[in-house]
Structure 1
Amino acid sequence: MNPKFVVFGEALTDFIFEGDGLWRAVPGGSCWNVARVSARLSLATAYAGAVSTDNFGDDLTRLAREAGLDMRFMQQVARPPLLAMVPSKTPPQYFFIGNDSADQHFDVDQLPQGWVDDLEIAHFGCISLVRQPLAAKLVQIAERIKAAGKRICFDPNYRNLMQDPAYRATLQRMSELADYIKVSDEDLEHLFPGETLAGALGVLRQWAPKAWVLLTRGGDGMTLITPQGEVSRGVYKVEVADTVGAGDASMGGWIASLLNNPDAPLETHLNYAAAAAATVCRQHGAYAPTMAEVEALINA
């Protein structure tokens, strides 16, 4: 049996500047984070991507295995690692190192036989949809999955690489394919410069009129917008260590709730998204929360 949820995209190592010339290496990557979160929330999940065969790739592979991911989908190739340099955490600043790195050598033909048949939702997002030739390959995979009658979720998760004018067509195409879109107010500001928040959201809704959209607003809460109506809620009040990976956790929590509890009301799905994000904010780095931690917040 293959997993219901497959996450495509980048896994990388964040090098975070801590001051005094010190950099801290932390396994991460938006798509890899989403996969780990949903797996820890009891959803049969795979991360479909390629990492290096050095210590950086080994750490990503080990943590993926520990999260309970289906390891048949994750590939290690003898190419350099993809690195994200984070010279500032507040406000977040990134640049990336890794021309012809391992992520570019992901081979969809190596995935298990029949994986599309068992799939219910596939996730795509972040810099994997900017970095060519991987980006074009992933759009083709998404189109194939959609043509097979499966669902797509998409998190653009803005990074400065998306200032490339060529990305606009990818943003629109992935939005058109998507059944579920997570986007933050900051994402919309950068992805649709010159637009108001309402105007940017309006463009997204024109591209994807039937999609469910999870709009996150940092400490101001989140709203789940669907053709059947919308619900909003504030954040769970926790002591914040940092917000690294909180958006990825809200995505993973949302999809885990959708697939684990498909008949639940919208409020339930929103609660899982918010509680997963809040649990991550209690930790340093891109933490993958357990179901017990998330439900403890919801039921408090």
Structure 2
Amino acid sequence: MRDGNPNEAPLMLCAGEALTDMLDQGDERWVSRVGGSTWNVARALAALGERTAFAGAISQDRFGDAIWAASEAVGLDLRTLQRVQRSPLLAIVEKTEPPRYFFIGDDSADLHFDPAALPAGWDEALRWAHFGGISLAREPLASNLVALARQLKARGVKISYDPNYRNLMDERYTPTLQAMAELADVIKVSDDDLRGLFPGTEPEQALTQLRAMNPSAYYLLTRGGDGASLLLGDARSDAGAPKVAVVDTVGAGDASAAGLLHSLSNHPERPLQSHLHAALAAGSAACLQSGATPPPLAAMQRLFDQLQGDLT
């Protein structure tokens, strides 16, 4: 795809929202940071050496410029990133611990992503496609992305899904949850996601309900500093997160999803425990830096080796 060479077409795709986080610094001071769940996964995959594209739409203003520049800096294929003359999608983060936020973007650029306008040949080498985040809770974008996921699945592309629960995912989100869970080969959720998606239900029971939608998928359950679990069929692996000097945890969950996809794509022969270690290593590597910064490959490899060494 790059320079007309089909061998350079992306192997990984992340489709959804790229947005701007507006963080309250106190005294009416705000700072902007590029972000967005599916876009964070895309950047993390690119940082781990995967040929990755992000499919979405961003604005043509300074906020869109910042997202474009950050995408370019990490090596994302930009041919599936569309720019439209609409306002940016903003996440107003009033508080981080615990999170308190709301979104501004009733007719913002992300909603105008057009899969039909993607360039010819963009998917000819695709192996994995990742979906999730608030993009699947905002119409008409949500319907377009579910349709794209179905189209890619029919072509043999493996599907990854992270609902990444946010407060706008009310009962209207349930059909999308069901549809994407049934399509997915990998489903990543946190314990907080499960509490939000299945209110009043304990996380382990909620996970059982989610797995009933698609018993054959991989399920990555992350629990922050308490580690994670990876399930496939009747098999389950649990592991604690490696000890690191945490700067912050922003983007750690997105990085863990990227770490798992990186491992499954490049080392399908690995046992379940090693795939889980790859996810934990990537998530922990992301915690070594501030903001949703992609995990450095060297740091992820070092933490992965550490986790693997603990088994011996």
TM-score, normalized by length of structure 1? 0.97
CA distance in 2, matches of 1:229, 1:112: 40
| Equivalent in 70, 85, 110 of residue 92 of structure 2 | 85
**Aligned residues: percent identity?**
52
1:18 paired residue number: 25
Contact 2:19 2:36 in 1 (8 A): yes
Contact 1:43 1:259 in 2 (8 A): no
1:208 paired residue number: 214
SS at match of 1:85: strand
1:45 paired residue number: 52
CA distance in 1, matches of 2:226, 2:275: 18
Give how far 1:112 is off: 2.7
Q: Deviations over 1:149-185 (max 9, x none)?
A: 221100000100102x211111111101111000001
Contact 1:94 1:159 in 2 (8 A): no
| Equivalent in 162, 166, 169 of residue 159 of structure 1 | 166
Matched, 1:149 2:156: yes
- Per mean C-alpha deviation after superposition, the further-off stretch among 59-68 and 264-273 is 264-273
Give how far 1:67 is off: 0.8
Contact 2:59 2:109 in 1 (8 A): yes
Give 5+ residue unaligned stretches, structure 1.
Answer: none
1:33 paired residue number: 40
1:54 paired residue number: 61
Correspondence 1:223-238 to 2 at 5 A: 223-227=229-233, 229-238=235-244
Give how far 1:243 is off: 1.0
1:132 paired residue number: 139
- Per mean C-alpha deviation after superposition, the further-off stretch among 124-133 and 285-294 is 285-294
SS at match of 2:124: helix
Contact 2:10 2:123 in 1 (8 A): no
SS at match of 2:168: helix
- Per mean C-alpha deviation after superposition, the further-off stretch among 133-142 and 267-276 is 267-276
Correspondence 1:220-299 to 2 at 5 A: 220-227=226-233, 229-299=235-305
| Equivalent in 180, 185, 192 of residue 186 of structure 2 | 180
SS at match of 2:175: helix
Give 5+ residue unaligned stretches, structure 2.
Answer: 1-5, 307-312
SS at match of 2:169: helix
1:103 paired residue number: 110
User: Which residue identity lines up with residue 64 of structure 2 in the other structure?
Assistant: G
Give how far 1:228 is off: 5.7
Give how far 1:297 is off: 2.0
Contact 2:252 2:287 in 1 (8 A): yes
CA distance in 2, matches of 1:264, 1:182: 19
Contact 2:13 2:128 in 1 (8 A): yes
| Equivalent in 63, 68, 80 of residue 73 of structure 1 | 80
SS at match of 2:282: helix
Give how far 1:290 is off: 1.9
2:225 paired residue number: 219
Contact 1:43 1:260 in 2 (8 A): no
Q: Deviations over 1:81-107 (max 9, x none)?
A: 000011010001221001111101111
TM-score, normalized by length of structure 2? 0.93
Give how far 1:256 is off: 1.2
- Per mean C-alpha deviation after superposition, the further-off stretch among 243-252 and 223-232 is 223-232
User: Which residue identity lines up with residue 236 of structure 1 in the other structure?
Assistant: P
Q: Deviations over 1:47-87 (max 9, x none)?
A: 00010111110110111111111111111111100000110
Q: Deviations over 1:111-164 (max 9, x none)?
A: 23233331111111010000111011111111111112221100000100102x
Contact 1:5 1:45 in 2 (8 A): yes
Q: 1:228 to 1:5 in 2, by over 3 A?
A: farther
Q: Deviations over 1:167-216 (max 9, x none)?
A: 11111111011110000011001100122222211111110110000000
How many residues are aligned here? 299
| Equivalent in 3, 11, 19 of residue 10 of structure 2 | 3
1:169 paired residue number: 175
